[in-house]
A and B are shown apart, each in its own frame.
Chain A
Amino acid sequence: MSDCILEARSLGKVYEEGPVKVEAVRDVSLQVSGGQSVAIMGPSGSGKTTLLSMIGCILRPSRGDVFIEGRPVRWEGEDLSRVRLNSIGFVFQTFNLFSALTALENVEVALELRGVRGSEARRRAREMLETVGLADRLNFLPRDLSGGQKQRVSIARALVNRPPLILADEPTGNLDSKTGHAIIELLRDLVVRERRSVVVVTHDTRMMDLVHRVYRLEDGVLVS
């Protein structure tokens, strides 16, 4: 498939703790095309985060292959860093912002890693934060931002390098209902506007109406 951004083939992950083996993900295959949004839903402990870590090239699968933009992922340090840097934007449940950096600087860090520096990095970071509605919070430290504002910074950081794939782990998990809804809409609007693909791992059933496809995961197996 020429416009396939993400493809997982027969992914499996087994955790071994001494003699005990736990198969967290079993034989999962999925595809995400350009501009497509996908939700992975399932109860706690169903293997959602493990699956997200593997398709995010952070966790090496025990079995199977991951293809990003049609290229197979080689599970080697430098290559993995490069894939994550160039092709994937992450949005985390706990935001994971740099506590000593302002909102603007948090976004700039992602640009710096891609080699965009100085005034160009500052301009692009400012534009991205304006896009997510934080024009008046550029120089605020994370401790001075609300949960929703922190998640907007996290989204801005994920999108600022224009990666073809956004992976979001429970993006509304730490937010109240109203703020969570606003974040979902923001994420959806940005993905549509920026023509990105997005994979969201969530419990939030409101996501079902906002994505093109929903995968359900139970006991490490895709059931639909």
Chain B
Amino acid sequence: MPSIARKNLFYDRTRFAITVIGITFSVVLIFTTIGVYLGFMQDASFIVESIPADIWVTSKNLQNFNFAWPISERKVEQIKEVKGVAETEKMIHSWGVMKLNTGGTEQVEIIGLDPEGAFGFPWTMVAGAPTDVKGGDFVIVDRSSVKRLGRLKVGDVREINDFRIKVVGLTKGLKSITTAPYVITSYDTSTLFNPYFREPVFILVRTFPGEPVAAVAERIREHVSNVDVYTRAGLSGKTRWYWTVATGMGMGFLLTAFVGFVIGMVVVSQTIYSSTVEHIREFGTLKAIGATNWTIYKIILEQAAVNAGIGFIVGLGLVLFIQKGYAALGIAMLIPVPLMIAVSVLTLAMCLSASIVSIRKVRTLDPVMVFRA
């Protein structure tokens, strides 16, 4: 079967190349925009997602994980009384300013948690051990902080909020959406840095196995006043929602992805339409010799689908290459399989819908034209 669609596509290689470049550009723009957005969202809720607590209790009217306020330490005892609560752990999240070797300063986010507590330090260590933070003013930093804090190594000494600290370990993959580097220390040490953060910011809860987490969270809400109670997914979702909606960041990403979609649609629509117009006499001939409209629609749709397939594959290849470049710059760009499937479907939909104008042209095509010289 000679595929008129494919033959037409490859017959005019310039037009075909323009179409594929347009789709590729669109695919790359959509992938990078959404991929970087997903990377930011991963950073936004990384701490919440990585600590295996079932329930997070924190100050009332929380906006997001990074801007929580301390609550009374007495809440820990109240929470322990709630049916279904197996273990609790105090955690501090606060802000500080680190003095750099260069004499400058840099803002940091301080996480205080007992490394031998209910949840330990779940992060990947590349130097030192979590328990090394105990017994002194010791901290662990993430190696991704190199651009902000300089190349810190175990044994380096710095100051945070005028308190002298010593680096005893390094993690990897621990980044905040705020771009301020995380500094991990013990709960007790973290209370020293900031007079407003002497009490827990979060009380982490592990429920008994088999106990419905939502039910326990509801009981805590009823039993403990003036706190917000979240499941892990709830706090993660609230934090992501804050950064996506409240800051307008999500709309920015969405608009960029939409622009990519529109660019692709316009390019494909133009090239497919010009191809249809150029081959209009041939389509008229097909009609005249007995082809139905649907036969011709299939040719146009096949052209669109082949364009979409090739543009998507080229675009994905480029994106995977760009992803490595982003990683070298310390920016996470996530391309999960569901995103690949979604963008492939979107690309196909974009190309097929771009064919509508051409299909309308063919639908109204009068085969009498074939007799005109």
- A residues whose Cβ falls under 8 Å from a Cβ of B: 49, 52-53, 56, 58-59, 77-78, 81-82, 84-86, 88-90, 92-94, 96-102, 105, 108-110, 112-114, 117-118, 121, 157, 169-170, 173-174
The answer on a CB contact under 8 Å between B1 and A100 is no
The answer on a CB contact under 8 Å between B368 and A118 is no
The answer on a CB contact under 8 Å between A99 and B368 is no
State which residues 1-43 of B face A: CB under 8 Å: 1-2, 4, 7-8, 10-12
CB within 8 A of A96: which of B8, B285, B368? B285
- Cβ of B72 under 8 Å from chain A: no
Task: Tell me if B's interface is mostly helix, strand, loop or mixed.
Answer: helix
Known: A96-B285, A100-B4. A113 touches B290 (CB 8 A): yes
- Cβ of B238 under 8 Å from chain A: no
The answer on a CB contact under 8 Å between B373 and A173 is yes
CB within 8 A of B371: which of A109, A113, A169? A169
Kindly provide the distance from the CB of A167 to the nearest chain B CB, expressed in whole angstroms: 10
CB within 8 A of B373: which of A84, A93, A121? A93
CB within 8 A of A90: which of B8, B11, B12, B288? B288
The answer on a CB contact under 8 Å between B373 and A59 is no
The answer on a CB contact under 8 Å between B291 and A113 is yes
Q: Which A residue's beta carbon lies closest to that of B285?
A: A96
Known: A105-B2, A109-B2, A173-B373. A100 touches B8 (CB 8 A): yes
The answer on a CB contact under 8 Å between A92 and B290 is no
Instruction: Report the interface size class on chain B.
Output: 20 to 34
Q: In the bound complex, how far is the Cα of B1 from the Cα of A121, in angstroms?
A: 8
B367: chain A residues at CB < 8 Å are: 58
Question: Told that A77-B292, A173-B373 touch, could you supply 8 new A-B pairs with CB distance under 8 A?
Answer: A81-B287, A93-B373, A96-B284, A96-B370, A100-B11, A100-B12, A108-B2, A169-B371
Listed from nearest, the 8 A-B pairs whose CB atoms lie closest are A85-B290, A100-B11, A105-B2, A100-B7, A96-B285, A84-B290, A100-B8, A49-B371
Q: In the bound complex, how far is the Cα of B8 from the Cα of A88, in angstroms?
A: 26
Q: In the bound complex, how far is the Cα of B280 from the Cα of A99, in angstroms?
A: 11
A118: chain B residues at CB < 8 Å are: 1
- Cβ of B134 under 8 Å from chain A: no
Known: A90-B370, A92-B371. A99 touches B292 (CB 8 A): no
Q: Mark B346-373, 1 if CB is under 8 A from A, else 0.
A: 0000000000000000000001101111
